[in-house]
Structure 1
Amino acid sequence: MPVADINGSQCHYRSDGDPHLPCVVLSNSLGTDLSMWDAQAEALAPHFHVLRYDTRGHGASASPPGPYSMQILGQDVVALLDHLQIAQAHFCGLSMGGVTGQWLGINAPQRLLKLVLANTAGRVGTQEGWSNRAQAVRQDGLDAIAAGAAERWFTPEFIAARPATVAAMLGRLRDQNAEGYAACCDALAISDLRGTIHVIAAPTLIIAGKDDPVTTVADAMQMQQAIFHADVATIDASHLSNIEAELAFTGLLLDFLRAG
């Protein structure tokens, strides 16, 4: 289990594929870990050096005391690339990972080749909503959050058809560090990149789930209008679209990253 001591924390990561190939970094959503990318990593590894990591406060990465911010989460990525001596990489982030990707596009453009922003927005949710969730998790733990997560993450049809997959994802959510999860909620509460994403210069693909109640197709279109070199693709899925629509998502990712 490789762990990098970076940016005042410990970051758990996994590397697949040939390190001499172009690198693609995969960044997890809130309440998940790097295993959410298993299907995409397998498909990408013959063509890329695939680097996955657990966002601080998640998985096997450390959960140092907060406060966290998107700047800290973005600097973690830059520090991990530095640690592994990777000058530039493609980046694909979903939800919170997509906010991290936007931060990198704004603040570390020289490190990016192409950028994929999945099921995310320049402003995800509201400050009050995130602050309330952080407070609830600190008081009552993650069980209460997990109880309603399936309906936010997946469509009713997927929940009925793939109960084992849904149960496994909820189990991972319950296993997260409650304070680390809450600190990431704090970071999302104060993050609003809508006024600055227009400076993103990397070629960008925005993936939206048609049934996503958290980050909508309208959110994707707003990002596309702000980012000059951006295209939008919609797929039949809810919020964790890379899991619910695995083949469609992976196909879009491969086609975009391999083009040109």
Structure 2
Amino acid sequence: MTSRTRTAITTGDGVRIAYRFDGDENKPVLLLSNSIGTDLHMWDGQVPALTEHFRLLRYDARGHGASDVPSGPYSMDRLGRDAVELLDALGLRRVHVLGLSLGGVVAQWLGIHVPERVDRLVLSNTAAYLGPASQWDQPIAELLEAPDMRVTAEMFLKNWFPARMLRGDNEVVEGFRRTLLATRREGVAGSWAAVRDFDQRRTAALIQNPTLVIAGEHDTVTSADHGKELAATVPGARFTVLPTVHMANVEGQTEFLEAVVAFLAEGS
């Protein structure tokens, strides 16, 4: 069921982007795009159910996982073009796209700038804008001056999961903690800069692809209001709220998968 024709591509600016396929190559391709501080394994728990319907294409965004970690600020344009260059290198003309958090911003960018490459969009726990830009400068500077990722990792986990999942030794949470601690600060800081500088509140109205927006009722990173505003901006978008914090795919896996699969299946 798993096929790996290559392990990485190199972008036009010389950055290696790691990826993998899972599932039957005869099924529709679903591109999965990740949040900051994670790698392609953030979807591991959902792979068995999703590969019943799709061939999954997962990748590590620049600055994360097995991909290269260029220094300096990243831009949303560059992160979006990384995804396009991945599709180009793999000969994929058109795919479904599911993005969560930063991955949801990248998915918006694809719908805005290369709608011909996208079939249906799922934008989960994300927003069209997370400003003002000035609020990001100090966290970026502090992270780059920190000795390691420990403080930032705990902040992320607190924002991602409910308190009940953070108590004790939750195997899933521990996996995310290990990934965060192994992530280089430059990758997170560069991605925060992309979040700092993006604003798609107006351009999201250009998205014409069928779109589902998913929000977490208790999400403090990208609130349910952020999701509601995004869904109101994208023409014809559907909106659903799950009783979760930020990582809806993990905390509310059953409901999340039901919503995603039902929506994407409409395009079959």
TM-score bracket for the superposition, by shorter chain length: over 0.9
Does residue 137 (structure 1) correspond to residue 143 (structure 2)? The answer is yes
Counterpart in the other structure of 2:48: 42
**4+ residue stretches of structure 1 with deviation over 3 A?**
none
What is the CA distance between 1:129 and its match in structure 2?
Answer: 2.8
Does residue 2 (structure 1) correspond to residue 11 (structure 2)? The answer is no
What is the CA distance between 1:125 and its match in structure 2?
Answer: 4.7
1: CA distance, partners of 2:169 / 2:53: 29
Q: Deviations over 1:209-244 (max 9, x none)?
A: 111011111111101111112001111110011111
Equivalent pair of 1:202/1:229 in contact (CA under 8 Å): no
Query: In the alignment, which of 242, 245, 265 is matched to residue 258 of structure 1?
Result: 265
Unaligned runs of 5+ in 1: none
Equivalent residue runs for 1:84-163 within 5 Å: 84-140=90-146, 141-160=148-167, 163=170
Identify the range of structure 1 (66-75 vs 163-172) with the bigger mean alpha-carbon deviation.
Answer: 163-172
RMSD of Structure 2 on Structure 1 (CA)? 1.4
2: CA distance, partners of 1:246 / 1:162: 19
Counterpart in the other structure of 1:237: 244
Q: Deviations over 1:99-127 (max 9, x none)?
A: 00111111011100000000000012542
What is the CA distance between 1:135 and its match in structure 2?
Answer: 1.0
Query: In the alignment, which of 36, 45, 66 is matched to residue 72 of structure 2?
Result: 66
Count how many residue pairs are aligned between Structure 1 and Structure 2.
260
TM-score, L = length of structure 2:
0.93
TM-score, L = length of structure 1:
0.96
* Equivalent AA in structure 1 for residue 11 of structure 2: I
Equivalent pair of 1:7/1:75 in contact (CA under 8 Å): no
**SS of 1:136 mapped into structure 2:** helix
2: CA distance, partners of 1:192 / 1:254: 29
Counterpart in the other structure of 1:194: 201
Identify the range of structure 1 (153-162 vs 12-21) with the bigger mean alpha-carbon deviation.
Answer: 153-162
Identify the range of structure 1 (58-67 vs 209-218) with the bigger mean alpha-carbon deviation.
Answer: 58-67
Equivalent residue runs for 1:151-230 within 5 Å: 151-160=158-167, 163-230=170-237
**SS of 1:214 mapped into structure 2:** coil
Query: In the alignment, which of 15, 22, 31 is matched to residue 25 of structure 1?
Result: 31
* Equivalent AA in structure 2 for residue 228 of structure 1: P
What is the CA distance between 1:66 and its match in structure 2?
Answer: 2.8
1: CA distance, partners of 2:154 / 2:234: 36
Equivalent pair of 1:88/1:113 in contact (CA under 8 Å): yes
Equivalent pair of 1:57/1:181 in contact (CA under 8 Å): yes
2: CA distance, partners of 1:130 / 1:102: 21
Equivalent pair of 2:73/2:189 in contact (CA under 8 Å): no
What is the CA distance between 1:155 and its match in structure 2?
Answer: 1.2
What is the CA distance between 1:43 and its match in structure 2?
Answer: 1.1
Query: In the alignment, which of 48, 51, 60 is matched to residue 54 of structure 1?
Result: 60
Does residue 76 (structure 1) correspond to residue 82 (structure 2)? The answer is yes
